[in-house]
Amino acid sequence: MREIVFDTETTGLEPLKGDRLVEIGAVELFNHLPTGRDFHIYINPERSMPVEAFRVHGLSDEFLADKPVFSALVDDFIEFIGDATLIAHNASFDIGFINAEFARLGKPPIGPERVIDTLALARRKHPMGPNSLDALCSRYGIDSSKRTVHGGLIDSVLLAEVYLELIGGRQPDLVLVPEVASEVRDDGGLVIVAPPQQRPVPRPFRVTAEEQAAHRAFIAKMGDGALWKNYLPEEVEPA
């Protein structure tokens, strides 16, 4: 099952009144484990940055001036998310901005049926709160020390860990997969240590010919009707 945990930064709170996206960060999960794939873009909002928004994410007009506009990035974003389930904290906010940008470009909106809101999950699990991302990281012992300001990618990485805790841990479906380690570099990039791959060469058969001969002799004493005779291995030449 493929899921995308994502976060946005914006110029304000009202996408239908002219506020725009300035950053999208997203990480991919498969069967509730990070794959190492991520998506991260800064966006020129084609308008000035209000002081209140700058204080939240630290993205200035000067920094965003040479970044691409959303129309130049939208196809890359759509390709990355594909048909995966989308996960965000206070998802109506992020999806509202995504859909407002899609509408400007004539793209179909993302429907609510493919969105999971981790804020709603947290409120059901911890009705007394608090349920901000910082508070949930603290509750679950997730290191958020590198999160000095809001940022699309680092918030997505932290939210992915919070989401796994909210649904019951890293392996809620009892999938016996090795743990995957992840961390965010100082420059905001994502580092993933992927799980081991399948052996390129099978392990050698470790039962010796002498051991097999002893096993066959033991089975022979059980008589012709012994079920074990159906599972005897092929003869192995003595070493």
Residue positions annotated with a catalytic role: 150
Signed CA dihedral, 96, 72, 9, 184: sign only: positive
Q: What's the CA gap between 69 and 106, in Å, rounded?
A: 15
Which contiguous run of DSSP H or E holds residue 80?
helix 74-81
Instruction: Take residue 85 and report the two structure tokens written for it.
Output: 């389930």
Beta-ladder partners of 184: 190
Strand order across the 2-10 sheet: 33-42, 21-30, 2-10, 85-88, 115-117
Beta-ladder partners of 41: 24
